[in-house]
Structure 1
Amino acid sequence: MLNVLNRPRVAEVTRPGGLGSTLVLALGTFAVGTDAFIVAGFLPSMARTLHVSTGAAGQSVTVFAVAYAVLAPVLATLTARLPRRMLLVGALVVLGVANLASALAPNLPLLIASRVLAAAGAAVYTPGAGAVSAALVRAEVRARALAVVVGGLTVATALGVPLGDLAGHWLGWRTALGLVAALSLVAAAGVFWIMPVLPGGPRVALRARLALLRRPAVASVLPLTVLGMAASYTVYAYSVPALRSVGVPEGSTVLMLFLYGAGAVAGNLVSGYATDRWGPIRVLNGGYLAMAVALAALGISAATGVTSPLIAGVLVLLWGASTWTQTPAQQHRLIAAAPQEAPLVVSLNASSIYIGIGTGTAAGGAALGAGSAVMYGLAAAVAVLALVFLRWTTRAGHGWRPVPAPSS
């Protein structure tokens, strides 16, 4: 299991209030998740302000995702020995400053540069918050503490993005990014106030982190994460024009984003339970099939002009649920394949998530000019490819027999 969970009892740091201390950490992951996905709600408005195409403005999402994926293992190596409170507070301050710079950016190049800086802050904070949460609570509630912190990301898709869309609609996209900056700084102050001084950990060489990629059991899982997230985010970053093509008025986009986020939260929770009960493969098979069906149905609606906001809402809910169903199941597979390196493989999975988001956003931007039906169709095809890849690796026997953790 996670090394941080196996510390001797004498070294544990307990905090009055149990899980209360992790809620502040979850506020930070909520800020990170909102920052990562908020642009989807006001992309056309941003493009008009910066005098670029919607596809070009969407590359700010791609750059954030790719920068996160690349920087996460590098920064984890470089910052391993820093005290945890200093590291987390500093990461949130960087995130806040970067969002303020994004809000003030006069052109696309400066916006892109600020998104790289924001990705650096996010790439340091999210893995660090997950590890620290276990040290802040009693041993008997550690698993729930981890769930609370990770849950901040999925709640951001349900609340942060729609609220950002509303702020962008009524106050402007610059104000919306400014509010994310303020949220990041509030979270930084909360982490500084509530966290005890915790030392850093041992430095793990970047070469050791990347050596895990050569293990067949790991190498067969991570590409599936990339494919699954790419399928969803081929459309998600361009959801305003894409939803308009299936009969959703621009003013109702916020409701659709809320439905996507509600599906994401529900899918994440159900996946955790279902994976424990029936195993990750059944969950992933169902998730990718549901995603392909939802995206294909939306594509058919866009192509034929036969639209219904009600049906679109149901499909968007299914789309969001199927997207985030895959994360707990994939993490389960990775930890089972390499239990002694669980923190490393989970961080690599996080990088794969953002590689998938960046790849999907780039593909969606390229397909946007051909119309929403083509974009939905491309996304559905990638979801089918993910399903085929899952079944092929299952039959080939890659990554399936868990490696037992050493006895204590």
Structure 2
Amino acid sequence: MSHLHTRTDPGPATTAGPGRGLRFTLILAAGTFAVGTDAFVVAGLLPDMADALRVSTAAAGQSVTVFALSYAILAPVLSTLTARLPRRTLLVTALLVLAVGNLVSAGADTLPVLIVGRIVAAAGAAAYTPNAGAAGASLVPPALRGRALAVVIGGLTVATALGVPLGGLTGRWLGWRAALVAVALLALAVAVAVRLAMPALPGAPAVPLRARLAALRRPGVLAVLPLTVIGMAACYTVYAFAVPTLGALGVGAYQVNLMLLVYGVGAVVGNVASGYATDRWGAVPVLVTGYAAMAVALGVLGALSTAGSAPTILVALLVGAWGAASWCQTPAQQHRLIAAAPQQAPLVVSLNSSAIYLGIGLGTTAGAAALPSGVPTMYALGAAGAVVALLVLHLGQRITRRDGAVAS
């Protein structure tokens, strides 16, 4: 998930040496690891959460939807409101808010309390990650900013591959509340490390929200963002309900965490490969390949689920392909956005981050609605979403060619 967030204006570089600056970014990466784990660990915990709160799994899935939608809405708003705050103060505060949100969620005895906790956690995540990237970029010379950003956002990638399954295992061994408490403790530990180790960094110039949203008037941008929403909704129609959807394939409760690890590894590989492939062949061929692979993987998994079981190795291969297809989207999408609005690159990629979480929220809502109809229906809905993404991509290409925008 290294593509979920982008930096705001990195601001003036500090006097920290390159080596020291990159070491500071490792602390920031621990925070993005906590954010990434928190955002997606719930997928492996939903049935237990539902039992504890005496609601259906679909109802418990609202916690994923609310987190994602809250992040999507709050990210640009908080970025505007907190622009002038010193970075270290902002980062520490965001991590504390993330921790509080997880503690509230862990102590919830009703669904409404859990929802409140997830909204608070989303606010902390939305404030932390873009500013962690900005701080990391400002700690090193300009020539090392790309590397610093890769380190900071690498925490999200590691969370995709390791944090979510490890959180799921913690939930299995100690309960879902313990998994959320563990994320809170990690956030608190990183907050202390940031306060003690990070140098003071000034805030950035304020950019009005109206200016941030002005890029939406560009045809090239309008052609890209809806595709992000549809593509992420397609993959998260099923992912948010990993336990029942994989269980329908004969995957046991403990094996679900192994499959989430496979998904995460696929996501990392797909993300990295997408970056290289986009540079070499362009964004559109990468997206066509990714959406086609997602449609096939989810379609085959749906067909296998009707039988009630499938060979574990086959399921693992399909889940890995699904993960790679899901997370190959955004490097290519970011490339298209930057090409369409090069002077507003940080802003449009930030909007893409909001579109990602909006898609996750909508996909989770669709999955919850389809759950009573059966797991095959959920897989079919996800596969259909990938096909729709292909059609929207084709339509977007026609729009951008007509208006002279660059989108490939």
Matched, 1:288 2:291: yes
Partner of 2:364: 361
C-alpha offsets along residues 203-226 of structure 1, whole Å, 9 cap, x if unaligned? 111111112111111111000110
Q: 5+ residue gaps in structure 1?
A: 404-408
SS in 2 for 1:397: helix
The answer to whether the 8 Å contact 2:219/2:399 transfers is no
User: Which residue, 191, 195, 198 being the options, matches 1:195?
Assistant: 198
Partner of 1:349: 352
SS in 2 for 1:204: coil
- Using the TM superposition, name which of 200-209 and 47-56 deviates more: 200-209
User: Which residue, 110, 115, 134 being the options, matches 1:112?
Assistant: 115
The answer to whether the 8 Å contact 1:12/1:135 transfers is no
2:75 and 2:87 map into 1 onto residues whose CA distance is 16
Matched, 1:218 2:226: no
Partner of 2:33: 30
Partner of 2:163: 160
1:164 and 1:131 map into 2 onto residues whose CA distance is 28
Partner of 1:406: none
Q: Which amino acid aligns with 1:46?
A: M
The answer to whether the 8 Å contact 2:296/2:383 transfers is yes
Matched, 1:207 2:210: yes
Provide the aligned C-alpha RMSD in A.
Answer: 1.8
SS in 2 for 1:221: helix
2:121 and 2:195 map into 1 onto residues whose CA distance is 20
1:59 and 1:8 map into 2 onto residues whose CA distance is 41
2:12 and 2:67 map into 1 onto residues whose CA distance is 38
Partner of 1:92: 95
Question: How far 1:162 moved relative to its partner?
Answer: 0.3
Q: TM-score, normalised by structure 2?
A: 0.94
2:8 and 2:64 map into 1 onto residues whose CA distance is 33
Matched, 1:232 2:238: no
How many residues are aligned here? 401
The answer to whether the 8 Å contact 1:68/1:119 transfers is yes
Matched, 1:258 2:261: yes
1:213 and 1:19 map into 2 onto residues whose CA distance is 34
- Using the TM superposition, name which of 60-69 and 383-392 deviates more: 383-392
2:124 and 2:96 map into 1 onto residues whose CA distance is 8
C-alpha offsets along residues 278-305 of structure 1, whole Å, 9 cap, x if unaligned? 1111111111111111100101111244
1:306 and 1:254 map into 2 onto residues whose CA distance is 17
C-alpha offsets along residues 335-391 of structure 1, whole Å, 9 cap, x if unaligned? 121121111111101100000000000000000011100000000000110011111
- Using the TM superposition, name which of 92-101 and 388-397 deviates more: 388-397
Partner of 1:101: 104
Question: How far 1:276 moved relative to its partner?
Answer: 1.2
Question: How far 1:2 moved relative to its partner?
Answer: 7.8
Question: How far 1:3 moved relative to its partner?
Answer: 7.6
- Using the TM superposition, name which of 321-330 and 53-62 deviates more: 321-330
User: Which residue, 243, 246, 259 being the options, matches 1:243?
Assistant: 246
Partner of 2:328: 325
2:182 and 2:307 map into 1 onto residues whose CA distance is 39
1:192 and 1:16 map into 2 onto residues whose CA distance is 19
1:18 and 1:78 map into 2 onto residues whose CA distance is 27
Question: Identity, % of aligned pairs?
Answer: 62
SS in 2 for 1:134: helix
Matched, 1:310 2:283: no
Q: Which amino acid aligns with 2:28?
A: L
